[in-house]
Amino acid sequence: MSRLSIHVIVCSLVFASTLHAGAGTAAVPRQKKKKKIFTGQVTVTATGEQTPVKDVPAAITVIGRHQIDDAQSATVGALLRRVPGLTVMQSGDAGSVTSVFTRGTNSNQTLVLFDGVRLNSPYFGGYDFSQLPTAGLARIEVVRGPYSALWGADAVGGVINLIPARARAGLSGSVLTEGGEDGWARFEGQLSYAGHGMDLFVSGFHRDGHGQLANSAFDLNQGLMDAGWSWGRGNRLGLVVQSIAGDTEIPFSGPVMTPRRHQSSSQTLAAVPLTWHVTPRWTLTATVSHVDRSFSFRDPDDAFGFTRSDTSPDTDQARIVSTHLVGRHTLSWGGAWRQDTVDDSSSFGVNLDDRSVTTTSAFVQDLWRITNRIRLLAGARWDDADRWGSQLSPRLGVGWAFAPGWDAHASWGEAFRQPSVGELYFPYSGNPNLNPETSISWEAGIARSFGPRLRIELNAFRTHLGNLIDFDYATYTFMNVKTAKITGAELGAAWTLAPNLTVRAQTTWLDTRNDAGHALLRRPRWAGSLTLSGRASSRLRIDLTATILGNRSDIDPVTFARRSAPGFVTADVALAWRLAPSTDLTLRVINLFDRRYQEVLGYPAPRQRVLGGIRMRLR
């Protein structure tokens, strides 16, 4: 679509809204009260229960539903580019593998949760964010730093917790339809009802399209339900079901075109969460869950005979936490159990047949409000697996509001990533004697609020990684062979220009080195983003974002040699024009200036894509 077409669309939206306004449609009133930037933000990820962000001595970012709607992003991965300390790498167009590196740690050293339920794959670790839509989410919580003391394995760089929406009183709903270039089609619908002790929220999502090469189509579908029965004051028994399925065509591998190669994946999560306020100062929370995953690969033209593979990595989990308010202490203790099971086969035969690892855990944590200005967060967790042994993970953090508008915090912690089932047992390369990867991290941060409208935060951190698991070409097996050191700093600012219009800026500097002195792959020395979002007028909501990614080391997919990947700057824009109190017209442009760039070497990012749609709300 030409730039002239973009201008025509924008002018048409403005003209249509002007006509509608002349017909007597009431404009949405401006909010009169000035709100603080972080007023009302809570986190459950940092402490295990709902706690005001300001009370937690840690680096926390919460992306709320209004920010998600303003960005109009279809997937979570795109929003995570705006979080300090996070680097998002997408291997090509939509639907391609998308990895997140937190504070320079590996992509399998960030723990991903859905309402507290672990999503990381037990096969070879990590999580693919290309298959995770924003539909049905209430907020995204990102806690940076080691959090194995609370959540266990893989929380080395941090934790990303996706909180689903929940029905509010009465009946409400919304529908979003969007279409555009490259056959793009997107549908989101949700409906909720709450009353008489019962609540139900359901959401549906569909997206499909294709890239600019042959065999580059993609689609993604999600169904989500959160139902609950409530009694007393805040007691609730719930049922959460999420089902995601996606299919992505693969147009090439290195220099070779692959006209019939494709992959499919699915994930079904079922969880039963319980919150029971036994007394006003004693709360029990528990969750039992099952995550069923499948992944398939097909290429009937593969020259080496690897024409198919099928993998089923499943996880069963149970977790219980008892929380007690004792004076100025919020004391939590509990336990967890998890079993990871993997089946894998390919055109060469069966690789893994119901191979499993069972892990049991116990943990304790105390949030101590020593004074109104000083908070102490201390915790420890013990994990024991039936295959690789046990691990103790302590954490200590202190926060101090030492002057009006000033906050400081410092923390130390140890974390680990357990060997995956594939690393332990995959034929020929697996090593059942592997030890967990470990880390020791330090962090210090300071924040300054200039009244209710401007807040600036600076965090510095250092992490030492040990026992890193890598493929050893001398033995042709996975071995604990590497160490690495990471030093970095994050700078973030949020400035409220108007009651509902905010500028957010963030930048991250990293220095990563492995034991050979080389920079870790795909970790840019500099990265950042600048976003203007919110209500620009009584009718117009905007989201303008520029993303910066600096030079970084990567592997050339043709020569397999290490080389530098060039940095780039790209921009996206999203507009929503309110035609009526319940109807918005939407327009967004991905890669606004049609830049040519690659996040991952050898995989060109999508060129400019213009998308338009309509959003309607019930109630």
- How many other CB atoms are there within 10 angstroms of residue 68's CB atom? 19
- Return the DSSP state at 74: S
Mean pLDDT, residues 344-357 taken together: 96
Question: How would CATH label the architecture of 3-28+42-618?
Answer: Beta Barrel (2.40)
**Residues near 535 by Cβ (< 8 Å), separated by ≥ 6?**
30, 498, 499, 500, 501, 541
6: confidence class by pLDDT, cuts 50, 70, 90: very low
Rounded CA separation 129/114 (Å): 12
Q: Which residues pair with 552 in a beta bridge?
A: 565
Rounded CA separation 119/108 (Å): 11
Evaluate if residue 2 carries a pLDDT over 60.
Answer: no
499: confidence class by pLDDT, cuts 50, 70, 90: confident
Rounded CA separation 97/483 (Å): 26
Q: Where are the domains of the chain?
A: 3-28+42-618
Mean pLDDT check: name the lowest of 24-38, 291-305, 597-611: 24-38
DSSP string, 160-195: EEEEE----SEEEEEEEEEEETTTEEEEEEEEEEEE
Q: Which amino acid is at 21?
A: A
Q: Which residue has the tokens 């730093």?
A: 145
Q: Which residues pair with 458 in a beta bridge?
A: 446, 491
For residue 423, count CB atoms less than 10 angstroms from its CB and return exposed for 0-12, middle for 13-18, buried for 19 or more: buried
Q: Which residues pair with 158 in a beta bridge?
A: 110, 144
Element holding 263 (H helix, E strand): strand 262-279
Instruction: Give pLDDT, residue 619.
Output: 72
Average pLDDT along the chain: 92
Q: How far is CA 524 from CA 398, 453, 469, 565, in A?
A: 30, 31, 22, 9
Mean pLDDT, residues 295-320 taken together: 96
Evaluate if residue 252 carries a pLDDT over 80.
Answer: yes
Evaluate whether 305 touches 348 at the Cβ level (below 8 Å): yes
Element holding 424 (H helix, E strand): helix 421-425
Instruction: Give pLDDT, residue 10.
Output: 39
Token pair recorded at residue 434: 């592997």
- Of 95, 97, 114, the C-alpha closest to 269 is 114
Element holding 50 (H helix, E strand): none
Instruction: Give pLDDT, residue 40.
Output: 60
Rounded CA separation 222/480 (Å): 38
Evaluate if residue 23 carries a pLDDT over 80.
Answer: no
| 502-535 pLDDT, tens digit each | 999 999 999 999 998 999 999 999 999 999 999 9
| 213-238 pLDDT, tens digit each | 899 999 999 999 999 999 998 999 99
Percentages of the chain per state (helix, strand, coil), in multiples of 5: 10, 60, 30
Pairing of strands 158-164, 110-114: parallel
Instruction: Give pLDDT, residue 50.
Output: 86
Evaluate if residue 415 carries a pLDDT over 60.
Answer: yes
| 255-280 pLDDT, tens digit each | 899 999 999 999 999 999 999 999 99
Instruction: Give pLDDT, residue 15.
Output: 30
Token pair recorded at residue 558: 């043709």
In percent, the amount of the chain with pLDDT more than 90 equals 84
**Residues near 22 by Cβ (< 8 Å), separated by ≥ 6?**
none
| 97-155 pLDDT, tens digit each | 999 999 999 999 999 999 999 999 999 999 999 999 999 999 999 999 999 999 999 99
| 34-87 pLDDT, tens digit each | 444 445 688 888 888 888 988 899 999 999 999 999 999 999 999 999 999 999
